[in-house]
Every structure is written in C-alpha cells, then in structure tokens.
C-alpha cells in the first residue's frame, strides 16, 4: 500500500512532462509555420520588386530605341513583367482597396505595352503622344521602385514582418496595415491619384472600358449580411470558421464594381491564414476571390488543374466557358476562360481561375471582366463565307483550326470574326478576319513553353 501512494504522483508527473513536450513541439511547429509563411511572402515581394525594376529598365530602353524590332522585344517584356508583378502583388497580405490604383497601374502598363506592340507588328512607330505616355509611365515606375526599396530595407533590418501585416483580427487590422503602407506604398497611391495619365488604347483595362456601366451584375441590391452569406457559400459554409467584413470596395476603380469585401478564416487551418473575397452590392455576384497560401511540391498536371477550374466554374453557375490560355508559376496554374455562345467565342466575357498544383484547390477567381461585359448579345450572321475568309489569309499560312469569335476592338466595340489558328514558318499565329466585310482585324502570335500559352 505504501508503494501505491507514489504511483499516482509519478503518473501525473510523467503526463505533465509529456504534455510539456507536446506543447513545446506544437509551439515550435507554429513558429516554424510562421517563419515559412513569412519567407514565402518575402520571396513573392522580392520577385514583384524585380519584375517592376525590369519594367522600368525596359521602358527606358524603349524610349531610347529607334529599332522597331527591338521595341517589339522590349514591349513584350514590359507586358509580361507587368502581368507577373500584378500577380505577385495580388498574393501579398495587403488590403485590395489600399492598392487599387497600384493594381490598375500595373494592369495598364502591361496592356498599354501590349497595344503598342500590336501597332509595331502592324508596321507603325511610336507617336509623340505615345512617347510622352511612356515617359510618364517610366517616371511612375521609378517612383514605385523607390518605395519598394524602402520596404525592402525594412525587411532586411527586421522592422517589418509580413506575418504581422497578414493578421486580420479586427483590433489589429488598421494598425498592422498602416505599418505596412503608410510610409511606402500609400505614397505611390497618392502620387498617381490626381496626376496619373488616362491611357487610351485597345486593351481590357483601358479607361474607356472601365467607365462603362457593368452589364452582367443583374438587378437588385444585397445588404452586408446577405453578401456575407453569399461569400461563405462560395467558399463553402462548412469550411468557414470566421468571416469578417473589412472594406466595401468604394475604391476598387480597376473593376468599377461597388462591392463588399470579406476576410474568411478557413476551418482546420492556422489562425493567421485568411481568404479574401468580394461580393457586388448589385446582384450579389462574387467579383473576385484570393487564397494567398503558399504552394509546395506540385503533384498534379496543368491538364488536371484545367479540369478542376472548368468544374469549379460549372458549379458556380458559369456555363459554356472554354479555356483559352494558361500560365504556370510558383506552383500555381492560371487559366483564362472565355464565354461561348452557340458556336461563337466571346473574348470580352472572360474569367480567370487560379489552381494550386499541390492538391488542385481553387486559390484565385476573377470575374470582373465577365461581370462588366456579359449580356445577351445579338450576334450577327456572317456576311462572308468561311471559304471567302480563307482567301484573305496569307499564302503559306498552314491553317489548323477555324472558328467564329467576337473580339473586342477600340475598347467596348466588338466585331464578329473568323479565327484562323495555324503556323507560318514554324511559328504559331492566330489571324482574325472580319466576318462581315472580310478585313484583316488582328494577328496574334502564340507563345508556348513549359509554363503555358500566351498570345501577343
């Protein structure tokens, strides 16, 4: 009996030791996760900084170059680097409304370069007005690079930790966001607020397009509680642990869609992880969704990811969407889907979907362009036959596929075309012949590599 009195204290002591070891391990794992996540955000930031610095350099070269061939290369680089910078920025733990102008700036730099690239391919040179716009863009890009360097210095000296910025508890939100942005990126937002040039060009983010009233939202208003329910259902109500409203999107001028925006804490995840989602005030449509989690060890193919993206759109009610191009980076596959009405592809009605290649999860969704432009079109019948359109295509172009497509021209204008995909001297091209008058409207070069397919 004497010995039995010591058994319980010994068992409790052993249990306490095990509990302490377990708790310490959990603490260490959580710290390791925070370090890993912060390192991932730092890598995204450095990549974005490099992209923007490369844009600035290429803009400077384009202003100095007199060679049309050289400018084609430089403008292509500006377009691609701007797009990659915008993608990196969208994954950083920063509120969208604070950087709406920066995101619009990066989109417009890329699209303006793309439009000038098309003109160069048509044999045109830079006009004095276009050169002036490039000077302004180069100036703003240099300023943005300077502010990013200030943030870089804070990261190097340990004055800034992305995990602190990422926390979205109500009390900490304004404080941590201010710490990140007040001295640096918000300066850029203020600088371009009043002086940023209005760029007129043929691109999806052209100002004349952004000023158009959205056509695809439907009617009726939703309140904040209804929008919160829509956001939760979009992610999956069973996957939602906590949903917090933190902005209403009044400054989301890039999409020009008034919306409620929410931060969602997923179930069975670290407390610091959050998904961000925007719901339109009119119609209650999900405008965009971002899940900026790191992706490690890709396991699924881009083809499998495309199937996941298509299934996701079908489940969300976006029928008749077809993939047109893709881009792979950082363990993520980005797909651009266009709406198809009967046998006609409508390029203006496009949706972007991002899929994580580790488990096939949807980590990004952007329907802003679709919601801006989608409506019941009265698509005209072709006035020339397919054979007549073929005659407008250059001899030696090996045609592989033909279809009808509505393509955007001059901002909001659309035109019905025959789309000819094929090869010329070993390179892939797409030629658009107007189905109403037989004019050659556009020529796109298709670039395929291990990271996806792009058209310039």
SS (H, E, C) 174-203: HHHHHHHHCCCHHHHHHHHHHHCCCCCCCC
Sign of torsion, CA 92 94 95 101? negative
- Supply 129's token pair: 């007005």
In terms of domains, do 70 and 180 share one?
yes
In the Cβ-directed half-sphere of 157, how many Cα atoms lie within 13 Å?
Answer: 7
210 in a structural domain:
no
In terms of domains, do 327 and 430 share one?
no
Residue range(s) defining the domain that contains residue 423: 386-455
Give the CA radius of gyration of the chain. 25
- What confidence score (pLDDT) does residue 43 get? 75
Burial tier of 261 (Cβ tally within 10 Å: 0-12, 13-18, 19+): buried
Question: What whole-number distance in Å separates Cα of residue 402 and Cα of residue 412?
Answer: 24
Letter string b/e over residues 399-417, b meaning 16 or more CB atoms within 10 A of that residue's CB:
eeeeebbbbbeebeebbbb
Place of tokens 């930790």: 161
> Shortest CA distance to 387 belongs to which of 435, 440, 443, 442?
435
- Supply 303's token pair: 């083809």
In terms of domains, do 407 and 342 share one?
no
* Count of domains for the chain: 3
1 in a structural domain:
no
- What confidence score (pLDDT) does residue 6 get? 60
Please give the distance of CA 122 from its chain centroid, rounded to a whole number.
Answer: 29
Question: What whole-number distance in Å separates Cα of residue 268 and Cα of residue 282?
Answer: 33
- List the pLDDT tens digit at each of the 456 positions of the chain: 555 556 655 655 555 655 555 555 554 555 545 555 566 667 777 788 888 888 888 887 777 776 777 778 888 888 888 888 877 777 776 654 445 667 777 877 888 888 888 777 777 777 777 877 887 787 778 777 777 777 766 666 665 555 555 554 334 434 444 444 444 455 555 555 545 555 555 554 555 555 567 888 888 999 999 999 999 899 886 667 777 876 554 444 444 688 888 888 776 655 556 788 889 999 999 998 888 778 888 899 999 999 999 999 999 999 999 998 787 877 888 888 999 998 999 988 989 899 999 999 998 898 988 998 899 999 999 999 999 999 999 888 899 999 999 988 765 688 999 999 999 878 888 899 999 999 998 887 776 666 666 665
Residue pair 369/349 in contact by the 8 Å Cβ criterion: yes
In terms of domains, do 358 and 426 share one?
no
- Supply 35's token pair: 């370090």
Going by the DSSP 8-state scheme, the letter that residue 337 receives in this structure is: E
3 in a structural domain:
no
Output helix, strand, coil percentages for the chain, rounded to the nearest 5.
45, 25, 30
In terms of domains, do 98 and 55 share one?
yes
6 in a structural domain:
no
Classified as helix, coil or strand, 453 is strand
Letter string b/e over residues 305-334, b meaning 16 or more CB atoms within 10 A of that residue's CB:
bbebbbebbeebebeebebebbbbebbbbb
In terms of domains, do 188 and 306 share one?
no
Q: Which residues contact 440 (CB under 8 A, 6 or more apart)?
A: 392, 431, 432, 433, 434
- Final residue of a domain: which of 331, 347, 373? 373
Q: Is 397 left (phi over 0), alpha (psi -120 to 50) or beta?
A: beta
84 in a structural domain:
yes
In DSSP terms, which residues pair with 352 in a beta bridge? 336, 366
Question: What whole-number distance in Å separates Cα of residue 453 and Cα of residue 189?
Answer: 32
> Shortest CA distance to 362 belongs to which of 280, 277, 284, 297?
277
254 in a structural domain:
yes
46 in a structural domain:
yes
Q: How many other CB atoms are there within 10 angstroms of residue 428's CB atom? A: 16
In terms of domains, do 105 and 235 share one?
no
In terms of domains, do 33 and 168 share one?
yes
Question: What whole-number distance in Å separates Cα of residue 131 and Cα of residue 149?
Answer: 27
Instruction: State how beta strands 398-409 and 344-356 pair.
Output: parallel
In terms of domains, do 265 and 147 share one?
no
- What confidence score (pLDDT) does residue 173 get? 37
Q: Which residues contact 131 (CB under 8 A, 6 or more apart)?
A: 63
In terms of domains, do 167 and 273 share one?
no
- Supply 173's token pair: 């939100």
> Shortest CA distance to 282 belongs to which of 206, 341, 226, 205?
226
In terms of domains, do 347 and 420 share one?
no
């Amino acid at each position: 009996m004497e010995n039995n009195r010591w058994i319980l204290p010994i068992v409790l002591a052993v249990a306490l030791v095990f509990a302490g070891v377990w708790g310490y391990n959990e603490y260490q794992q959580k710290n390791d996760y925070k370090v890993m996540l912060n390192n991932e955000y730092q890598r995204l930031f450095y990549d974005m900084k490099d992209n923007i610095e490369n844009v600035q350099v290429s803009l400077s070269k384009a202003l100095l170059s007199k060679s049309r061939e050289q400018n084609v290369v430089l403008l292509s680089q500006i377009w691609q680097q701007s797009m990659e910078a915008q993608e990196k920025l969208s994954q950083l733990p920063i509120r969208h409304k604070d950087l709406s102008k920066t995101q619009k700036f990066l989109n417009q730099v890329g699209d303006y370069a793309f439009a000038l690239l098309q003109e160069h391919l048509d044999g045109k040179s830079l006009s004095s007005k276009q050169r002036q716009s490039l000077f302004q863009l180069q100036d703003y890009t240099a300023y943005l690079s300077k502010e990013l360097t200030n943030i870089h210095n804070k990261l190097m000296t340990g004055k800034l930790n992305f995990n602190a910025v990422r926390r979205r508890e109500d009390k900490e939100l304004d404080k941590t966001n201010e710490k990140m942005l007040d001295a640096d990126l918000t300066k850029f937002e203020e600088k371009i607020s009043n002086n940023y040039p209005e760029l007129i060009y043929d691109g999806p983010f052209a100002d004349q397009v952004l000023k158009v009233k959205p056509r695809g939202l439907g009617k009726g208003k939703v309140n904040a509680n209804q929008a919160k329910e829509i956001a939760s259902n979009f992610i999956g109500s069973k996957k939602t642990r906590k949903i917090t409203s933190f902005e209403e999107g009044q400054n989301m001028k890039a999409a020009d869609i008034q919306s409620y925006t929410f931060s969602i804490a997923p179930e069975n995840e670290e407390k610091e992880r959050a998904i961000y989602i925007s719901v339109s005030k009119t119609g209650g449509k999900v405008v965009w969704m971002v899940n900026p989690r790191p992706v490690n060890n890709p396991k699924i193919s881009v083809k499998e990811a495309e199937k996941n993206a298509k299934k996701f759109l079908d489940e969300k009610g976006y029928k008749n969407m077809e993939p047109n191009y893709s881009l792979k980076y950082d363990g993520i596959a980005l797909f651009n889907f266009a709406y198809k009405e009967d046998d006609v592809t409508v390029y203006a009605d496009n949706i972007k979907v991002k899929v994580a290649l580790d488990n096939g999860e949807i980590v990004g969704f952007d329907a802003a362009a679709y919601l801006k432009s989608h409506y019941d079109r009265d698509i005209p019948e072709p006035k020339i036959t397919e054979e007549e359109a073929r005659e407008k295509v250059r001899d030696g172009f090996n045609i592989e596929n033909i279809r009808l497509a509505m393509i955007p021209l001059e901002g909001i204008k659309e035109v019905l075309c025959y789309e000819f995909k094929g090869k010329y001297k070993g390179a892939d091209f797409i030629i658009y012949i107007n189905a109403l008058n037989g004019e050659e409207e556009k020529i796109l070069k298709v670039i395929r590599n291990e990271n996806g397919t792009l058209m310039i």
